[in-house]
Amino acid sequence: MAESNCTLVTEFSLTGFTGDPVTQVTLFLMFLLIYLVTILGNLGVIVLIRASPQLHSPMYYFLGNLAFVDLCSSTVITPKVLVDFISDKKGIAYAGCVAQVFIFDLFGMTECFLLAMMAYDRYVAICHPLVYPLVMSPKWCFQLVTGSYLVGLTNGMGQTISMSSLSFCGSRIIDLFFCDISPLISLSTSDTTLSHIILRTSASLFGVSSSLVVLVSYVAIISAILSISSAEGKRKAFSTCASHLTTVSIFYGTSCFMYLKPSSDSSREDKWAAVLYTVVTPMLNPLIYSLRNKEVKEALMRLTKIK
């Protein structure tokens, strides 16, 4: 009977970060700067890879797709956050919330698998260099990237189905700055069994499998590097995967803190962990590959050199 009297929700309210006007202006400028760097950095990586023949290799093919995914995942979150900073009403329509859940979960899981594929690429390059051109063929790389997007699409559709099965009759306040499936499940007044099953299955099947690919690849990589006799050889081998290892550490570190940490009474830490995961990480990835990667810096110098 309670569910039959439920009024369909048309809008959610996002709490954001603070109600202080001065702090909101400061945060607006900070988030705007981060977003501009994210856009310019990731677009720059995509353009540089396409314009530089020396970067037409599997590793940079994956990196170009990673930059595209970071661009999309950041764009589905940050512009709405910026609008909320200068708006008195921090609301989001139900349809917009569904779209945000779908797109963010699509690109979030796609990034997990792209990072896993990049770890596999580094494993083949370091542990089996003689067969690297044969194993990492253009056709196989295309299939790996396509598979990553399909897994992301499956995850996005699953979370959207999960949300569509929920009813919201009580509080409509999401204690976050964007729509995420976990707080939405907590807000629901209906049976959340299906939503929990979908969420846990997705995390177990997709998240754990991509993490295992990264872990196994780097165990083999580290073992191969340690077996190299010369210090110079070790340095060169490690330098080929240092940027990716840094990116993986930031991405998985922040995402694990966000989704696997025990729930607490205070959500302040959760919000700032979500900022690192959704806003800061997409900005850092192109910077890491630009500052730490010799080939990228050389390609940029060639492209910008005035003849």
Contact by Cβ (8 Å): 60, 139:
no
pLDDT at 230: 79
Residue labelled with tokens 């890879």 = 49
pLDDT at 286: 84
Contact by Cβ (8 Å): 85, 24:
yes
Residues 6+ apart with CB under 8 A from 22: none
Per residue in 244-260, pLDDT (tens digit) is 888 888 787 777 666 66
| pLDDT(101) > 80 | yes
At residue 243 the predicted structure's pLDDT band, cuts being 50, 70 and 90, is confident
pLDDT at 143: 95
pLDDT at 229: 79
188 — phi, psi (to 5°)? -65, 145
At residue 267 the predicted structure's pLDDT band, cuts being 50, 70 and 90, is low
- Name the residue with higher pLDDT: 208 or 294: 208
Contact by Cβ (8 Å): 78, 178:
no
pLDDT at 262: 54
Q: How far apart are CA 18 and CA 27, in angstroms?
A: 9
Average pLDDT over residues 88-113: 89
| pLDDT(16) > 50 | yes
| pLDDT(236) > 80 | no
Q: How far apart are CA 122 and CA 101, in angstroms?
A: 32
| pLDDT(306) > 50 | no
How large a percentage of the chain has pLDDT more than 70?
A: 90
At residue 17 the predicted structure's pLDDT band, cuts being 50, 70 and 90, is confident
pLDDT at 86: 85
Decide: helix, strand or coil at residue 59.
Answer: helix
Domains, the chain: 11-305 (1.20.1070.10)
17 — phi, psi (to 5°)? -110, -40
| pLDDT(60) > 50 | yes
Residue labelled with tokens 């177990």 = 204
| pLDDT(266) > 50 | no
Q: How far apart are CA 270 and CA 182, in angstroms?
A: 12
Average pLDDT over residues 80-99: 86
CB atoms within 10 A of CB 78: 23
**What are the structure tokens assigned to 120, written together?**
């596999």
At residue 234 the predicted structure's pLDDT band, cuts being 50, 70 and 90, is confident
Lowest mean pLDDT among 99-103, 195-199, 266-270, 288-292: 266-270
Average pLDDT over residues 47-55: 86
Chain-wide mean pLDDT for the chain?
83
At residue 269 the predicted structure's pLDDT band, cuts being 50, 70 and 90, is low
| pLDDT(110) > 70 | yes
